[in-house]
Amino acid sequence: MGFGVIEQDPHQHYHALDWGIIRTSQKDSEASRLAQLQEAMQELIRQTKPDMASIEKLFFFRNAKTLMPVSQARGVILVTFYQAGLSYVEYTPMQVKLNMTGYGRSSKTDIQQMVQQLLNMEEPVKSDDAADALAIALSCAFEQQSTSLLAARF
Amino acid sequence: MGFGVIEQDPHQHYHALDWGIIRTSQKDSEASRLAQLQEAMQELIRQTKPDMASIEKLFFFRNAKTLMPVSQARGVILVTFYQAGLSYVEYTPMQVKLNMTGYGRSSKTDIQQMVQQLLNMEEPVKSDDAADALAIALSCAFEQQSTSLLAARF
């Protein structure tokens, strides 16, 4: 799962506080992997103290094989947000692309470039999932009154 | 979500300790409903102290509209099992029917009758989901060395 945390500075610019991928081993049981995901997310929330969260909206026409494990993980993440007192907004991949580039079918490289530019980063974020998560956080930042945001994408 | 908890008595017979449906309001947010589900399940585990858990196995060809919310709930339940230290076994609806009646396409009424008989209950369990959960618990009991079992089905 990709994640990104951004924060507004006193000049109203957003900066990336943290981003990356939470990975678990396929050798572990489903339940253990979901618990590891929850613990990593709880730790991230403790460290970065976001005001608000955002998450990718899933569709049932997504790849059927991955829909079930991804939905299971998403359920765990939603409970984690709720228990941390974080309200959340959902974004479809198309909304995020529109918000980032004004074009709903922009490429992964377009998104990475916009994320780098908007967050004033020295290098583009290499992981697509992490770049997408930062893009979701930025989409949320543009629409909500919030100074620090956490986003998750699957 | 339907649940059932069974326990073995000193004569090797199983009895139903608790069964029913955990419902949440459609007015509440997805995250709040998932958190309510987790709290209800944690409370059930505290009260009935099962040795082991079992859960319905889902398939991606299940009704696509319900697959996502059901998988989200299932993810939360698996984490709850894990955090309570409960190992779990998964059963498909067909395995449960075979275990209960020897016939993989038996009716809901057949299952309800077998559950009533095997658990020595005065009346059949009215809710299909709760009866199915008890049937999952019994399936697990037949195969595992365990004296008290909790089961969940969606």
Q: Which residue has the higher pLDDT, B143 or A76?
A: A76
Stretch 37-56 of chain A: residues touching chain B, C-beta under 8 Å? 38
- Residue B62: is its pLDDT beyond 70? no
- Helix (H) / strand (E) containing B130: helix B128-143
CA distance B67 to B65: 6
ipTM metric: 0.89
Instruction: Please judge whether A60 and B67 are an interchain contact, meaning their C-beta atoms are less than 8 angstroms apart.
Output: yes
Looking at the whole model, is its pTM more than 0.80? yes
Instruction: Please judge whether B38 and A72 are an interchain contact, meaning their C-beta atoms are less than 8 angstroms apart.
Output: no
- Residue B51: is its pLDDT beyond 70? yes
- Crossing angle for the helix pair A93-101 and A108-118, to the nearest 10 degrees: 60
Interface residue A72 vs chain B (CB under 8 A):
yes
Instruction: Please judge whether A76 and B75 are an interchain contact, meaning their C-beta atoms are less than 8 angstroms apart.
Output: yes
pLDDT for position B135:
97
Nearest-neighbour CA in chain B from A89: distance (Å): 11
pLDDT tens digits for range B94-128: 999 999 999 888 899 999 999 999 999 999 999 99
Find the mean pLDDT for residues A43-47: 97
pLDDT for position A6:
97
- Residue A22: is its pLDDT beyond 90? yes
pLDDT for position B61:
67
Interface residue A109 vs chain B (CB under 8 A):
no
CA distance A74 to B23: 20
Interface residue A121 vs chain B (CB under 8 A):
no
Find the mean pLDDT for residues B63-67: 79
- Residue B65: is its pLDDT beyond 90? no
- Residue A61: is its pLDDT beyond 70? no
Residues of chain B with Cβ-Cβ distance to A32 below 8 Å are 82
pLDDT for position B121:
96
Residue type, position B87, single letter: S
- Residue A98: is its pLDDT beyond 80? yes
Please report which confidence band the pLDDT of residue A59 belongs to, taking 50, 70 and 90 as the band edges: confident
Find the mean pLDDT for residues A59-75: 84
Structural domains present in chain B = 2-153 (3.30.420.10)
Question: Tokens for B28?
Answer: 């509440």
Contacts of A132 (CB under 8 A, 6+ apart): A2, A56, A93, A96, A111, A153
CA distance A60 to B65: 7
